[in-house]
Amino acid sequence: MSTFHGTTIIMVKHAGQVAVCGDGQVSLGSTVIKGTARKIRRLCQDKVICGFAGATADAMAIMERFEEHLNQYSGQLTRAAVELAKTWRTDKSLRRLEAVMLACDANSLLLISGSGDVLEPDDDILTTGSGGNYALAAARALVKNAPHLSASEIAQESIRIASEICVYTNDSLTLEVLDCKKAS
């Protein structure tokens, strides 16, 4: 049986913004099933943005659980992420879910996985999905060589570059932005 592929999500914190961008492609084997999927969501009164890679229903179940933890811990991103990772790793039904989630607020970027990972990047760029490494390389180059670009411009261009290399990534983009200066 073929498996679903096709997600590239990037988070970039740069020049007073956090930008989260994702492509829209979902593929089953060598067939594009959907080109405009929305893999990014705002949570916690729009103060947290999440993007996911993996099985869609699994990712939605994880995101719902994450939102519960965010509400329980008054929007504290890191605390909610650690509690989600612990629950995800130890809960019998959640353990089988196949997804990776990126989450951010105006201060932090985090990768959360079912193996118990809660990782913060060294360089304020996080990616996941089939085109993630291409987008990561592009974003690092853009931050270094075009620092005048905004976080949203870097994130969008990085996904576009990934879409030219990765057959499971397209250029139908979803973008969400947080302003670091105004966020509380």
Given the residues 7, 8, 127, 128, select the one marked as catalytic.
7
Output the CA torsion 65→71→72→78 (10° steps). 80
Judge whether 3 counts as a catalytic residue. no
The Cα 50–Cα 30 span in angstroms is 27
What distances in angstroms separate CA 184 from CA 19, 105, 106, 115, 142, one per listed residue? 16, 9, 8, 30, 28
Q: Is 177 helix (H, G, I), strand (E, B) or coil?
A: strand
Give backbone dihedrals phi and psi of 87, rounded to 5 degrees, phi first: -65, -45
List the helix and strand counts (H, then E) for the chain: 4, 12
The Cα 77–Cα 80 span in angstroms is 5
34 burial (CB, 10 Å; 0-12 / 13-18 / 19+) is middle
- Residues marked as catalytic: 7
